[in-house]
Structure formats: C-alpha cells, structure tokens
Amino acid sequence: MVKVYFELEEQDIISTSKYFNNAYTEEWLDDWARRVIREIDKSELVSEGLVQSPVLGPITIREISSGAKALIIMNADDSVISNANSCGDNCAELLAELSRKKDFSIYLAYPMKFRDLQFDMCIARDGAICHNAKEFEREYLLWRHSMTF
Amino acid sequence: METQHDILVQNKRDIQFKISINRKITVIRGDSATGKSTLFQMVSDANTSSRTGVNIACDVPVVALYETGYQYELSNESGKIYVIDEDFSHLKTKEFASLVLKSDNCFIIITRESLPAIPYSYREIYKIKTSGKYHSLERVYPDYDKLTEKDMIVTEDEDAGLEYYQYFFGDKVTTSHGNSNLSKYGSQNSLLIGDGSAIGAYIQDMELTGADMYLPESFEWKLLNNGMFKNNEKVQELIEHPERVVDTKCISMEKYCTGLLNNITANTPAQYSKSKLNQCYVRQCCCKGTKCEYFTRDKVLE
C-alpha cells in the first residue's frame, strides 16, 4: 500500500534527481528499474549505469527522467518518502501496480490522473483508504479545500 | 521587459527545443520523460561557459536559476528569462513569490505543483510535445471562453463583478469570495467564473470538480470587451494581443485592466467602480440623459 502525503516539512522533501544520483546502488537497478526505464523513458538499461535512449543515444543512469528515478526510489529505498511530484501522469500505472505489491510512502501534491487504475492507497492526513481515481481525487480536493492560501 | 519571446535551445546532437512565451510566468508540466529536465540541463550547460555545445537563440538572455544566490539574482537582474527546474526547493515560498512579482524578468517554471502565491494564467500552462529530437510546447488547457447558463453560477468576484453576472442570470449567481475558493462550488451542474490570467494555481482543482468554466482574463478585461470601447485603439490592442501590452512590471492582468478601465472612463458616465456596477456596462442604452462619448450604439432614452 502506498501512503500519500499531500504536505511535508521542507526538510523531508527529497530532490528526486539529486537524491537518486547520489544514493543509487547496483541493487536498485533490478528488473523493476529495467521495466520503469523501458516503459517511462522508452529506453533500455544496458548495464549498470548505462542506458540506451532512442532520442539521446547512450546516456548514464543519472540522465534518465525524474519520473523514472522516483519510481525506482519507491521500490528500492524505504528510508525516504519518494517525491511523486516528479512523476507525470504516465507514471500512474506503475505507481498503482507497485502499491498493490509493497508498502511505501510518497509525497504527492498534485492530482495525478489515475484514470481507471486500481490501487491500494492510504492518505496520511486523515487515514482514508482509496482504491480508485474518484476516491483519490475526492481526498485531494478535501485537502485543497482545507488550505488557506 | 516585454513578455513575448521566441526561444530556440539546441545542442550539437540536434536535440532542439522551440519555445514561445507570452507572459511573465510560463509553467511546464506533463508526462515524465518528455524532456523537461533535459531542457533545464541544456540551458544550465549553456550558461557555464562560452563553448558548451549548446546554443540558445533569443532576443534576451535565457538562463537557469539556481537555489544558491537566487535572491540576489532576482533582486538585481532584469531583462532575462529564467528557467527553473522542479527541484528548486523555494518554489512555493512566499519569499520566492514576492521576488518574482517584483522582478523585471520572465520565468519558465517546471513544476506539476500549484503556486498559489504567484498569479499565472491557465493559458500559459504547457506540456512538452516531442517528435524525436524536436520539442515544442503545447497548451494543457483549452480556452474557457464560453459563458453558458447552468443551475448554479459562481464567480470569484464580489460587488461589481457579482452584480454584473446577476444582471444576466439572477439569483443563481453567487460569489466564492476569491479564486482559491472557486473549486469548492464546482459540480457537474455549476459554472465557475474566474480571472483566467491569475487562476493557474487553481485550475487543476476546478477541473477535477467537473464544473464548466468561464475564464476571461479578468472581470475588467471582460468589460473592456464591451462594444462601447471598440474605437479605443489601446483597448483593442489589449483585447487582441494582451501579451504585447502587459509587461513584466505589471503585477497582474487584472490590475492592468482595472487601471486602464479607470483611466479611460474617469469623469464619464461610464466611470468604472469596483465596488458598484455602473449600469452603462449592462444596459442597452445610456439612460442618464448624458451622451456617452464611448457609446457606439444609438442612444435610446427610456
């Protein structure tokens, strides 16, 4: 199940790209990472640290998209709350799938479009459980409406 | 500083970004792996020394903004376009917003989060469209410019703005008392009316509600569209090309339009007041017995 934080203290928010570049290990670059890089970046993880991109050519693992990095962190590193604001709507499917497989936490402060995906989600601020886009969007709006701008 | 600029960022490996900006604030969001970070990295590389393999073509400097020293940069520099990556941790702070608003620069901000302290237009929220190595911007939201009657109509405006819509739609029109509250009234049966030029931070919330939206630049901009100003060249230029008229020193389109409306109607029967709607803007004729020099229709006395 994924625990979703709509808000976090500044010191708890990780910079996805910088964190990944300075924290990833060989163990992180497993089958999940391979799949994330293939499905999100349309690229192939050739070997540790080397990725073949159809647009950029051969690039280092440090140059994959922030969305891909965030999804890899979610699977590989339980010591931080992954920053899912780095993930676009095209990351929703993998995020939903991961939520059905393991427990992890994310910071998500925008209404990601989950469309008809099913997922296991707990909203940190009120403990609400969401399994579909409608339930998530309701929780997101409740949070937004509770804010004073 | 003018806010309309064409930018071409390309490197020696033929990665190319063609970007046109129209306002002080441009926001880029959208799917992952479309090139947002690559754009920032290329701009960043181009700034580091003279021969980097990255070329930026624009009529003003295009530079990356970093966390270190950004306060000094924004307080002292002018005439630049700053590109800001989503990792910029001060994006949502009041200090950053205050510096941006005072700054005589343009900003391209890469973020999916909303920035409530900065007024930006929903029309200037883009995603990156990719075709191989070529990248351009595509608007995320369509024009919300159709005023359709619904069971419930809610405007962010109070006083004159509220009175205006109530004149046409009666008691079904209420106010949300500001743009941040609009989405609270959103449903399939409601129409939400807001200032399009400053609604960017709330457009995602409003869209989620399923409500219809009517988002002119601002209420005063809508009044300036009134036929009585059709002979005023400055007004017509504003309506046709707002980006050419409003520069970076202007805090918001609403303030610009309010100032313009106040100036051109001062001491005339159509004198604008935010607190009370002047009937000139809703009635078919001037009924005050005084000829209105702006009125282009035939005068008909009741």
The pLDDT confidence band at residue B250, using thresholds 50, 70 and 90, is confident
The verdict on a CB contact (< 8 Å) between B116 and A140 is no
The verdict on a CB contact (< 8 Å) between A15 and B87 is yes
- Of the residues B106, B139, B172, the one at which a domain ends: B139
How confident is the model at residue B300, as a pLDDT? 42
Closest CA to A66 of B41, B271, B159, B174: B41
How confident is the model at residue A149, as a pLDDT? 65
Tens of pLDDT along A30-46? 999 999 999 999 999 99
How confident is the model at residue B292, as a pLDDT? 54
Q: Say if strands A57-60 and A50-53 run parallel, antiparallel, or are unpaired.
A: antiparallel
Domain check: are B57 and B130 in the same one?
Answer: yes
* pLDDT at residue A109 greater than cutoff 50: yes
Mean pLDDT calculated for residue range B251-273: 88
The verdict on a CB contact (< 8 Å) between B183 and A145 is yes
ipTM: 0.93
The verdict on a CB contact (< 8 Å) between A88 and B87 is no
The domain limits of chain A are: 2-146
Asked if B15 reaches chain A (Cβ–Cβ under 8 Å), the answer is yes
Q: Which residue has the tokens 């219809």?
A: B212
- Contact residues on chain A for B209, CB-CB shorter than 8 A: 141
* pLDDT at residue B244 greater than cutoff 70: yes
- On whether residue B110 sits in a domain, the answer given is yes
Tokens matching residue B177: 């008392």
Q: Rounded to whole angstroms, how far apart are CA atoms B45 and B99?
A: 25
- Contact residues on chain A for B204, CB-CB shorter than 8 A: 110-111
- As a whole-number percent, the residues of chain B with pLDDT over 70 amount to 94
- Burial label for B267, CB within 10 Å (0-12, 13-18, 19+), is exposed
* pLDDT at residue B287 greater than cutoff 60: no
- Contact residues on chain A for B90, CB-CB shorter than 8 A: none
The verdict on a CB contact (< 8 Å) between B37 and A88 is no
Largest distance between two CA atoms of chain A: 48
Q: Which helix (H) or strand (E) holds A21?
A: helix A16-23
- Poorest-pLDDT segment among A77-86, B10-19, B251-260: B251-260
Classify the phi-psi angles of A42: left when phi > 0, otherwise alpha if psi is within -120 to 50, otherwise beta.
Answer: left
* pLDDT at residue B54 greater than cutoff 90: yes
- Contact residues on chain B for A45, CB-CB shorter than 8 A: none
* pLDDT at residue B291 greater than cutoff 80: no
**Chain B, nearest residue to A63 by Cα:** B38
Domain check: are B158 and B261 in the same one?
Answer: yes
The verdict on a CB contact (< 8 Å) between A88 and B132 is no
**Closest approach of A148 to chain B, Cα-based (Å):** 8
**Closest approach of B289 to chain A, Cα-based (Å):** 45
| CATH (domain of B54) | 3.40.50
- On whether residue B286 sits in a domain, the answer given is no
The verdict on a CB contact (< 8 Å) between B205 and A111 is yes
- Chain A: residues touching B (Cβ < 8 Å): 10, 13, 15-18, 40-42, 55-57, 64-68, 85-91, 109-111, 137, 140-141, 144-145, 147, 149
Q: Rounded to whole angstroms, how far apart are CA atoms A2 and B49?
A: 44
How confident is the model at residue B293, as a pLDDT? 55
The pLDDT confidence band at residue B267, using thresholds 50, 70 and 90, is confident
As for how many domains chain B has, the answer is: 2
- For helices A66-76 and A16-23, what crossing angle results, to 10°? 60
Chain Cα centroid distance, residue B86: 21
- Poorest-pLDDT segment among A118-122, B23-27, B174-178, B222-226: B222-226
- On whether residue B294 sits in a domain, the answer given is no
Q: How many CA atoms are closer than 13 Å to the CA of A1, on its beta-carbon side?
A: 13
How confident is the model at residue B294, as a pLDDT? 55
Put the strands of the sheet holding B16-21 in their side by side order. B54-57, B5-11, B16-21, B134-139, B125-131, B25-29, B104-110, B78-84, B62-64
Tens of pLDDT along A86-105? 999 999 999 999 999 999 99
The pLDDT confidence band at residue B166, using thresholds 50, 70 and 90, is very high
The verdict on a CB contact (< 8 Å) between B112 and A110 is yes
- Contact residues on chain A for B190, CB-CB shorter than 8 A: none
- On whether residue B300 sits in a domain, the answer given is no
How confident is the model at residue B243, as a pLDDT? 83
Q: How far apart are the first and last CA of chain A?
A: 31
- On whether residue B196 sits in a domain, the answer given is yes
Q: A135 by DSSP, 3-state: which?
A: helix
Which of B13, B17, B31, B32 should we substitute to test contact with A (largest number of A Cβ atoms within 10 Å)? B32
DSSP result, A33-85: HHHHHHHHH--EEEETTEEEETTTEEEEGGGS-HHHHHHHHHHH-TTS-EEGG
How confident is the model at residue B280, as a pLDDT? 84
The verdict on a CB contact (< 8 Å) between B33 and A67 is yes
Domain check: are B234 and B123 in the same one?
Answer: no
Tens of pLDDT along A47-84? 988 999 998 889 999 999 999 999 999 999 999 999 99
Q: Under a CB-based contact definition with an 8 Å cutoff, are residues B134 and B108 in contact? A: no
Q: Which helix (H) or strand (E) holds A3?
A: strand A2-5
Domain check: are B277 and B178 in the same one?
Answer: yes
Q: Rounded to whole angstroms, how far apart are CA atoms A7 and A13?
A: 9
Closest CA to B37 of A16, A134, A38: A16
Asked if B208 reaches chain A (Cβ–Cβ under 8 Å), the answer is yes
Q: Under a CB-based contact definition with an 8 Å cutoff, are residues B190 and B212 in contact? A: yes
Q: Say if strands A44-47 and A2-5 run parallel, antiparallel, or are unpaired.
A: unpaired
* pLDDT at residue B288 greater than cutoff 80: no
Amino acid at A136: F
Tens of pLDDT along B114-157? 999 999 999 999 999 999 899 999 999 999 999 999 999 999 99
Domain check: are B129 and B157 in the same one?
Answer: no
Q: Rounded to whole angstroms, how far apart are CA atoms B282 and B286?
A: 10
Chain Cα centroid distance, residue A105: 9
The residue segments making up the domain with residue B237 are 152-281
DSSP result, chain B: ----EEEEEEETT--EEEEEE-SSEEEEE-STTSSHHHHHHHHHHHHHSS-SSEEEE-SS-EEE--STTHHHHHHH-EEEEEEE-TT-TTTTSHHHHHHHHH-EEEEEEE-SS--TTS---GGGEEEEEEETTEEEEEESS---------SEEEES--HHHHHHHHHHHGGGEEE-SSGGGGGGG--TTEEEE--GGG-TTTHHHHHHHT-EEE--S-HHHHHHTSGGGTT-HHHHHHHH-HHHH--TT-S-HHHHHHHHHHHHHTTSTT---SSS--GGGTSSS--SSS--TT--SPP---
Mean pLDDT, chain B, as a whole number?
90
- On whether residue B292 sits in a domain, the answer given is no
Tokens matching residue A63: 């140059």
How confident is the model at residue A6, as a pLDDT? 97
**Closest approach of A114 to chain B, Cα-based (Å):** 12
How confident is the model at residue B226, as a pLDDT? 80
**Chain A, nearest residue to B41 by Cα:** A63
The pLDDT confidence band at residue B301, using thresholds 50, 70 and 90, is very low
The verdict on a CB contact (< 8 Å) between B208 and A10 is no
- Of the residues B92, B111, B139, the one at which a domain ends: B139
Which of A56, A61, A144, A146 should we substitute to test contact with B (largest number of B Cβ atoms within 10 Å)? A144
The pLDDT confidence band at residue B299, using thresholds 50, 70 and 90, is very low
Tens of pLDDT along B197-218? 999 999 999 999 999 999 999 9
Amino acid at B21: I
